[in-house]
Structure 1
Amino acid sequence: MIKEELLEAKQNLLKLETLKLSGYPTIDKPWTVNYNQKELGKKIPKRTVFQEVYNNNFSFPKDLALEFFGTKINYSTFFKNIEATAKAFQEYGIKKGDFATICAAGIPETVYSFYALSKLGAVANMIAPHFEKKDLIARISDCESDILIIMDKFYPKLKDAIKNSRIKNIIILPTLNSSILRFASKKYKIDSYSNELYWNQFIKDGKNRAEIQTIPYEKDLPLTMVYSSGTTGASKGILLSNDSFQNSIQSYPASGVDISRGQKFYQIIPPWYSTGLSTSIHLPLSYGTSVFMDPRFERDVFVKNIVKAKPNYCVAPTSMYEGFLDEKLVKNKDLSFFNYPFEGGEPLSDEVATKIETVFKQHGNNSPLRVAYGQCECGAAITTQTQMAESTRGSVGIPLPGITIGVFDDDFNELPYYERGQILANTPCSMLGYYKNDKATEEYFHIDKNGRKWNCTGDIGYIDEKGNLFVEGRASDYSIINGEKIYNFDIENIIMELDGIKMCDVLEFDDDDKKELAVHIIFTDEIQKNMKTNKNYLEEKLHSLQQYIYEKTNNENMVPCRFKIRESFPYAKSGKRDVAKIKQEKDGFIVINKTIEENKQKKLSR
C-alpha cells in the first residue's frame, strides 16, 4: 500500500476501539465471527484419506464419484478400482512407508492410485511432467522409488531420464483408459523386452492377491509428496501427511462452503499440486460430491466443460476464468448452477474480476468470483472468501477454521492491522517438512516463544480489522536502488492502475554496475494501435507513467527509466513467468530520462 491508501487504511483502525480489539490479528482472531459455530464444534475424525472417503461413501454405491469423457463411475466401481490398484501395487512390492512415483494428470487412474497407496500406508510421489531430466532422476532417487505410473503423453519426453533412474517397473497409463474414447485413441507402443507394461496389465497382475487390509490411522503418517517450483534452486520435496489433508477438508463446512452429496466439482488443477489433490479431489469425494475430470488445461475447453457439465464448484486460475469474457463461448447459456467459482494461483485485478462477474450475472449467476490463497507447504488453502464473510475486493479472504494468520516484521514481532510485513500461518494442515532437507525445513518454520510453529510463506501483505488478508507480493521480489530496498510489486501495482496496461513486470537492471529499475509492459490492443499511428505517443505515455508513479510514491528511486514493450512473457516449464530468463535480456529497452521536476505539476490523463 502506498501513501493515501495506507493513510486511509490506518484511519479504519479507529473502528477497533468500538470492537474492543487488541489491535493484533493473532490475539483477536476477528475472522472467527464468520464461522459456522455448530460445524466448528465437531470433532475431526482420526482417519486416513482412504478411510475418510470409504467411510462416507460405502453406503451410497450408486452415487456418482467420477465423470470422465462420457464415462460415469459410481462409488461401487470406484472402490473396486481402488482395491484392484492396491493389489497391483502390493504385487509389485509396495508396502507401508514405500514411495510410488506418479506422473499423471487429473484422470481416474491417478485418483485410484492415490487412494490405493493410502490404503497400503504408502506414499504417492507426485512428479510434474515439466521436471528437468536431472531433477526427475534426483527426486526419484531421494525417495528410493522403484515403480513409476506415467501417463502415455508424458512418457516419450522423459523416457531417457527414467531409463537412467532406479525405477524397476514403468507402468504406461493411457490418458483415455477409463473412457470409451480409448478405442479411438493412438496407443503408445511399449518395448516388450523392457520393464514397461500397460496399466491394464499392471492391474491384471494383482487380481489374484487376497483382499487388502487397510492400514489404520497413525498421527503424521506420510501420504504424498509434491514439489516446490524450483524457481530459486532445485525443487524441494514437500512431504504431506494424512492429517494435513484431513484437517484441511474438515474445515470447509465451518467456513461456510456448502459442499454436499449430489453436487459436482470440476477438477482442473493438476494433482502434482496439493490443491489439485486435496481441495479438488479429496475434499469433494469426502462429502459425496462427484468430481468432473478433464486434464486439458485450456481456456476454451474449461468454459465449454462448465457450460455442458454444469459443475457447482471449481478452483482454477484467473487465466481459465478469463475464457468467460469470450461471448461466443457463453452466448445464451445458463450459468445459474455455478455456485462456487474459486480463483487461486494467479493475480486477479479488480477490473478483470468485475468483468467476469458481470458475465456471470448476465447468465443467471449472482455468485462472486471468490479468491483463495495457499501454498503446498501449508497443505493447500490458507485463506478463502466465503459467503459467510463479507468479501473485500483485493483480499484473499479470511483463514480457514483452525488456521491462524499474522503479519510480522523481520524479527518476528507481530504487526498490527494494516501494517505490512511477512505473512505467517499457524496451521494443522502443514507439511511434515522438506523431505531429507532438515536445513530448509528449519529455515521455513518459525517457533515462537509460546512454542507455536509458524509457516513462513515468503509473502508480504497485511490484515484488516475484519481478518481479511491482502497479499502484495513475494518478500524476495525487490530491487536495491541507490541503497534503498524497493519492492518491485509496489511499482507493478501502481502501473496496473492505469488504463491500457495488460500485464507488467518490474525487475532490477544492471547497467555497468549501476542498478536501475526496468519495466516490461504489454499494452492493450488500443494502445498498440495508437503507438503505430503516432510516433510520439509511446514516449509521451511512458513519461506520463513515470510522473504517475512519482505522484503516488514521492520517491524518485521508485521511478523506472528503462522500458521494454512486449507482446508476451516467457514462461518456465512450471507454468510460472520465467523471471530468470527475463532478467537476462539486455536489448530492446527504451530509456526514458526522468523528468520529474519539470513535470511535477502535470496531471496524468488516465
Structure 2
Amino acid sequence: MSEPAIKAAGQGAKREKKGAEVPRVKAPWLGSYDEEVPATLTYSEKTMVGALEDTARRYGDYIAYDYMGSKCTYRELVEKIHTCARALKAMGIREGDRVTICLPNMPQTLVMFYAVNLVGAVSNMVHPLSAESEIAFYLRDSKSVAAITLDQFYPKFAKLRKVVDLPNLIVTGAADELPGAVRAGYYLKEGRKIKPIPARANVLKWRDFLRRGDYIEIYKVDRHAEDPAVILYSGGTTGTTKGILLTNRNFNALGAQIIATNTFFQPGDKMLAIMPMFHGFGLGVSIHSMMYNGGRCILIPRFTPESYAELLKKYQPNLIAGVPSLFEALLRVKQMEGVDLSCLKGVFSGGDSLSVELKKRFDAFLAEHGAAVQVREGYGTTECVTASCLTPMHQAREGSIGLPFPDMFYKIVKAGTEEEVPYGEEGEICIAGPTVMVEYVNHPEETAQTLRTHADGMTWVHTGDLGIMDSDGFVYFRQRIKRMIVTNGYNVYPSQIENVLDGQEYVQMSCVIGVPDPIKIQRVKAFVMLKPGFKPTEACRQAILAHCRKHIAKYAIPTEIEFREELPKTLVGKVAYRKLEEEELSRRQ
C-alpha cells in the first residue's frame, strides 16, 4: 500500500495557477486516525463572533458559562456582547484598532473579546500579572487605543499611563457581572480589600462604560474569516517577545479540529476553564472551541491545587485541560481523596512536556477516582494558536505527542533547512495548515525566518523545536532548539531576565538557565557575578530578588541565585551558558 498523502489546501497552501498540478504532501498519520476522525474538514467563513452567534441560534438556552455561582445562556451572552460592542463604538473604537484585554478568566473577558471582534477591532491579550514594564511594551507594540483591566491592577496602569499613550482605560471588578445579591456579598467579603480608584481618575468603570452605548445603533463591522482578530504574545522561535497576529479563521479552524478529534463531545459538555485567556491554550481550547460548539465554560479567575480539587467536586466537569505541573500537584492534594471523576470524558495536557512517568501516575490516579479516560498529551505553538497535534482517543504511543489534527501538516526537517529527514530521524518540527498565523507584529524579518514556503508550495512554521516522526505519523517532541525556558507552561526568555538582573546596582554580570524541576519541568536559575566591593550575602540576594519582583512576571522570577566570582566565557567573550547548563546537569546526576 502506498504511503498516505493529501493535496495541499487551506491557509498555508500557496495559491496555484489554474491547471497547475497541486503538490501532494506526505501524511502518514491519516492511516493512524481513529475511525471516526475525518482527514479534512469544512470551516466557517465567518468571524469568531459570527460563529458564536451561529451557536447561539442552535443552542440559545444552553448555558454558555458559569462564574462564581451565576450562569449565562448563549442567548444572554450574545446580548451582552452586542451591548459591549455598542459601548466600544461609542468610545470611538474603529475597524482595525487594537484593544488590550488584561483580565483573568471572567465574564468581562469573554464579553469584551467577542465585542472587540464584532466592531472589527483586534484583541490584544495580556497577562494581568505582568510587570509594569512588560504591559507598557505590550501597549506600545500593539499600538492599543484602549485597554480593560481589573480594579486591583489599576495602580499599575495609572503609573504606566505616564509613559505610554493610552487614550481609554476601562476598569472592572471581579463581581461586576454577578447578580445584585451575589455582588453585594462579594464586596463585603473580598471587595473591601481592594483600594478604591480615585474619584478623578481618568478611567471608565465597567457599568458606566456599557451605558455609553445605549443610543448607538450602527456598530457592527463586516469582517471575514481571513481578517486579523487577535494578538497573543510569545517569544516565537528566537526567544524575543513578539505579538503573534492571528485571524478569525485560525480560531474557527481550531474549534472545528478540537471537536473532530474528540467525537464524544456533546453540546452542553462542561469545560473547567482554568487555563488563562491570554494564553493560546486557554483562549483557543478552553474558551473559543467551546463557544464554537455549544460547550459550557466554567470560568475560573484564579485557583490553587486545593481549590481546583474543590471545583472538580462542585462542577463535575466533562473536560479538563492543564499543564503537567497541575496534574502532578493534584496527586498530592488531600482534597482529592474520594472525589468521583467518572464525569470526565477528556483530560488534556499541554503547554509543556508531559513526562512518561507523570502520565503513568496520573492515568492510575484517574482510574482510582472512577474515570474511564486517560490523559491525552497535545503539542502546538502560539504561531498556530495552540495545539495542532493530539494523542488519539483509542491509541497512544509512549512518549508521543500524538497525531496532527485534520488539515494540519507536520514534517521534520534538518535544522536550519527545508530538507525533510527520514522517519525516525531527529530534526526541526515544521507545521502547516489553517491555524498558521499571519505574522509576528512589527517583526518582518523574523516572520520571514519562521514562515517559509517550501518546494511543496505550502507555507510552513519552523517551530525551533526538535522532534521525530515515525512511519505511522506519530510525532515525538524532543527539546527546544533555542535557549527558551518553559516553566509551568509559561515561556521564559533568559536574555530578558539577564537584562533585568544586570540593571540591579550590585550586579556586574548574570546568566540565566533552566534547570530540571519535578513539578514545573524547568525552573529559572540565575548565576550572578557581583560588582567589586559587594559581598554575596543573603541581604544582597534578597535585594536582587526584590528588584526582579518589580520588573519580572512572577512565574519568571529566578527560584535560585548562585553567586560566582567569574562566569565562564566562550572564545569570543560571550557568557558560556551551555557550560553552566552542563555543570548543573552533572551536579544533579
What's the TM-score bracket when you normalise by the shorter of the two chains? 0.7 to 0.9
For residues 421 and 520 of structure 1, what CA distance do their matches in structure 2 show? 23
Equivalent positions of 1:177-216 (< 5 A) are 177-179=176-178, 180-181=182-183, 182-184=186-188, 185-186=191-192, 187-210=194-217, 212-213=219-220, 215-216=221-222
For residues 128 and 231 of structure 1, what CA distance do their matches in structure 2 show? 20
Question: Could you tell which deviates more after superposition, 436-445 or 29-38?
Answer: 29-38
SS class of match (2:371): coil
Q: Identify if the C-alpha distance between structure 1 residues 68 and 331 changes in structure 2 by more than 3 Å, giving closer, same or farther.
A: same
Match status 1:586 vs 2:579: no
Match status 1:413 vs 2:419: yes
Deviation per residue, 1:100-134 (Å, 9 max, x gap): 11100110110001111111111011122344433
Q: Which residue of 1 aligns with 2:310?
A: 304
Q: Which residue of 2 aligns with 1:50?
A: 49
SS class of match (1:425): strand
Question: Could you tell which deviates more after superposition, 123-132 or 241-250?
Answer: 123-132
Equivalent positions of 1:87-486 (< 5 A) are 87-179=86-178, 180-181=182-183, 182-184=186-188, 185-186=191-192, 187-210=194-217, 212-213=219-220, 215-229=221-235, 234-326=240-332, 328-388=334-394, 390-409=395-414, 410-477=416-483
CA contact (8 A) 1:149 1:171 kept: yes
Q: Which residue of 2 aligns with 1:553?
A: none
Q: Which residue of 2 aligns with 1:595?
A: none
CA contact (8 A) 2:95 2:121 kept: yes
SS class of match (1:58): helix
CA contact (8 A) 1:433 1:441 kept: yes
Q: Identify if the C-alpha distance between structure 1 residues 373 and 233 changes in structure 2 by more than 3 Å, giving closer, same or farther.
A: closer
CA contact (8 A) 1:67 1:73 kept: yes
Q: Which residue of 2 aligns with 1:78?
A: 77
SS class of match (1:97): coil
Q: Identify if the C-alpha distance between structure 1 residues 422 and 157 changes in structure 2 by more than 3 Å, giving closer, same or farther.
A: same
CA contact (8 A) 2:87 2:212 kept: yes
| Shift of residue 446, structure 1, vs aligned partner | 1.7
In structure 2, runs of 5+ residues without a counterpart are 7-23, 487-493, 495-512, 520-544, 568-588
What letter is aligned with 2:82?
Answer: E
CA contact (8 A) 1:299 1:319 kept: no
Q: Identify if the C-alpha distance between structure 1 residues 298 and 147 changes in structure 2 by more than 3 Å, giving closer, same or farther.
A: same
For residues 237 and 427 of structure 2, what CA distance do their matches in structure 1 show? 22
For residues 333 and 451 of structure 1, what CA distance do their matches in structure 2 show? 52
Deviation per residue, 1:119-173 (Å, 9 max, x gap): 1111011122344433432332233322110112333234311332111221111
TM-score scaled by length of structure 1: 0.74
Q: Which residue of 1 aligns with 2:9?
A: none
What letter is aligned with 1:162?
Answer: R
Deviation per residue, 1:271-301 (Å, 9 max, x gap): 1112221111110111111100111142222
Q: Identify if the C-alpha distance between structure 1 residues 194 and 242 changes in structure 2 by more than 3 Å, giving closer, same or farther.
A: same
For residues 438 and 588 of structure 1, what CA distance do their matches in structure 2 show? 38
CA contact (8 A) 1:445 1:454 kept: yes
RMSD over equivalenced CA pairs, Å: 3.3
Question: Could you tell which deviates more after superposition, 197-206 or 182-191?
Answer: 182-191
SS class of match (2:71): strand
What letter is aligned with 2:197?
Answer: I
| Shift of residue 448, structure 1, vs aligned partner | 0.7
What letter is aligned with 2:369?
Answer: H
Q: Which residue of 2 aligns with 1:537?
A: none
Deviation per residue, 1:50-82 (Å, 9 max, x gap): 110111222433210110010111122211111
| Shift of residue 264, structure 1, vs aligned partner | 0.4
For residues 32 and 94 of structure 1, what CA distance do their matches in structure 2 show? 48
Deviation per residue, 1:166-189 (Å, 9 max, x gap): 112211111232232443323542
Percent same amino acid at aligned positions?
24
For residues 371 and 449 of structure 1, what CA distance do their matches in structure 2 show? 31
What letter is aligned with 2:328?
Answer: E
Q: Which residue of 2 aligns with 1:529?
A: none
SS class of match (2:152): coil
| Shift of residue 383, structure 1, vs aligned partner | 0.6
Please tell me whether Structure 1 or Structure 2 has the larger radius of gyration of its CA atoms: 1
Q: Identify if the C-alpha distance between structure 1 residues 267 and 393 changes in structure 2 by more than 3 Å, giving closer, same or farther.
A: same
For residues 91 and 451 of structure 1, what CA distance do their matches in structure 2 show? 45
Q: Identify if the C-alpha distance between structure 1 residues 583 and 424 changes in structure 2 by more than 3 Å, giving closer, same or farther.
A: farther
Question: Could you tell which deviates more after superposition, 128-137 or 413-422?
Answer: 128-137
SS class of match (1:396): coil
For residues 231 and 460 of structure 1, what CA distance do their matches in structure 2 show? 12
For residues 43 and 290 of structure 2, what CA distance do their matches in structure 1 show? 17
SS class of match (1:111): helix
For residues 107 and 444 of structure 2, what CA distance do their matches in structure 1 show? 35
For residues 160 and 134 of structure 1, what CA distance do their matches in structure 2 show? 10
What letter is aligned with 2:187?
Answer: F
Equivalences, count:
491
Q: Identify if the C-alpha distance between structure 1 residues 231 and 194 changes in structure 2 by more than 3 Å, giving closer, same or farther.
A: farther
| Shift of residue 587, structure 1, vs aligned partner | 7.6
CA contact (8 A) 1:67 1:293 kept: yes
| Shift of residue 330, structure 1, vs aligned partner | 1.8
CA contact (8 A) 1:220 1:432 kept: no
